[in-house]
Amino acid sequence: PFNFSAYIDFLKKYGHNFIRLWHWEAPKWRYSLDRPFSFSQPHPWKRKGPGLARDGKPKFNLFEFDETYFQRLYHRVQMAAENSIYVSIMLFEGHMAQFAAQGWEFHPFNSENNISKIHCERLDYYTLKNKEILEIQEAYVRKVIDTINDFDNVLYEICNEAGNYSTEWQYHFIRFIKSYERDKPKQHPVGMTFQYGGEQSGNNANLFNSPADWTSPNPEGGYREDPPLNDGRKVILNDTDHLWGKGGNPQWVWKSFTRGHNPLFMDRIVDLTDRTITWAGKARAEDIPKAEEIRKAMGLTIQLAKRFNLAEMLPLPDLASTRYCLAKPREAYIIYTYDSNGEVRVDLHNVTGEFHVEWIHPVDGSIVVSNNVQGGGLRIFKSPLKEDAVLLLYSSKRR
């Protein structure tokens, strides 16, 4: 079993404050026939038979919830809340159904695995085609909401990587959650993430045109190397899962942050997982390259978020020659410089007063304080660090 308490401790070590709480839909699966099976339990519905499902355990009753599942969900969200960590609740998971060599044959909504006389084809589960299945899905989503509505640290993700065919189904559940929570004590942000589906993939337009509050895009538009400005339509979790699968680097962290996005890293964490890649079948692997640097860089962005009110800051690339600038003019500027000569020009023409100057190492967080500067013109700064750096300018009136 995964040591969730140790995972929380790991997040706290790096100062991280957000996780995706993954939902595996099938009790048994493997992505390749030459690998052992992976397993998951408990599930939202009781396994009480009569009869055995294809994995050799009692069949599911899709009209009776397994309270064990929802109790664990509650306690994990509670544990995260007690440690100031936000949790994105993944309600459905589409990648396995699309790409596992064996998986759907063990899924609860395969008729061979339930006593409820329910069956659908593999990808139809993520559509509006079957009214009875939709009603069961809605009952499950209501149960999740009822279980954790009291928490402030909750977000919802409709589905991980179901393809373009899922668009209207995902839109339906975004609206469904918003409607159901409207009369609840608390309302939570609802997200729609990239619809990876190989040749059936969706696009970023589906995400931005959705009724979702937040989204995680695919690489189109430069979200890997040169993230576009967040224009405020959605909160964006720029997630390596949907950009590389396994990838990322500390430069991407800072580029995302200074363009108004929230960087999110899909991390193997081999110290907790015994180097096992569960999603792809049990296989040995090391940490993703640059993982430690990415973890530290993300922790530093959170430190800055605590120092400054990011809700009042905007990505304003025209103010800095590197074009990576998050700022509230006249008060604070967070600028990422990746230039090998460490030089950055900052437009302070329209501001007055004195600014403190700090250079922050983008990974280890060490700080070099430079002489204060006055507003009122174009100012040129030279980094004392050897490689890329974060330039921090803030008004002396803040102290």
DSSP string, 55-97: TSSEEEEEEEE-HHHHHHHHHHHHHHHHTT-EEEEEEEE-HHH
pLDDT at 397: 82
The first and second tokens of residue 26, run together, are 């099938």
Tell me how far apart the alpha carbons of residues 137 and 37 are, in angstroms, rounded to a whole number.
26
Third-level CATH fold of 312-398: Immunoglobulin-like (2.60.40)
Token pair 């589905």: residue? 159
Residue 60 in contact with residue 307, Cβ under 8 Å?
no
Give the strand pairing for 262-264 and 235-239: parallel
Classify domain 4-307 at the CATH class level.
alpha beta
Q: Please give the pLDDT value at position 285.
A: 72
- What's the alpha-carbon Rg for the chain, to the nearest Å? 23
CATH 3.20.20 domain position(s) in the chain: 4-307
Length, in residues, of the chain: 399
Closest CA relative to residue 159, chosen from 193, 136, 186: 193
Q: What is the DSSP string of 123-168?
A: GGGGSSS-HHHHHHHHHHHHHHHHHHTT-SSEEEEEEES--GGGHH
Other beta carbons within 10 Å of 254: 28
Q: What does the alpha-carbon distance between residue 115 and residue 46 come to, in Å, rounded to a whole number?
A: 11
Q: Where are the CATH 2.60.40 domain residues in the chain?
A: 312-398
Q: For residue 235, what pLDDT is reported?
A: 98
Q: What is the pTM of this model?
A: 0.96
Give the separation between CA 307 and CA 310, rounded to whole angstroms: 9
What does DSSP say about strands 214-216 and 190-193: parallel, antiparallel, or unpaired? parallel
Burial of 75 (0-12, 13-18, 19+ CB in 10 A): exposed
Number of CB atoms found within 10 A of residue 74's CB: 16
Q: What is the pLDDT along the chain (399 residues), one digit of tens a residue?
A: 789 999 999 999 999 999 999 999 999 999 989 888 889 999 999 999 999 999 999 999 999 999 999 999 999 999 999 999 999 999 999 999 999 999 999 999 999 999 999 999 999 999 999 999 999 999 999 999 999 999 999 999 999 999 999 999 999 999 999 999 999 999 999 999 999 999 999 999 999 999 999 999 999 999 999 999 999 999 999 999 999 999 999 999 999 999 999 999 999 898 888 766 655 555 567 889 999 999 999 999 999 999 999 999 999 999 999 999 999 999 999 999 997 688 999 999 999 999 999 999 999 999 999 999 999 999 999 999 988 999 999 999 875
Q: Please tell me the distance from the alpha carbon of residue 215 to that of residue 236, in angstroms, as a whole number.
A: 5
The identity of residue 106, as a single letter, is F
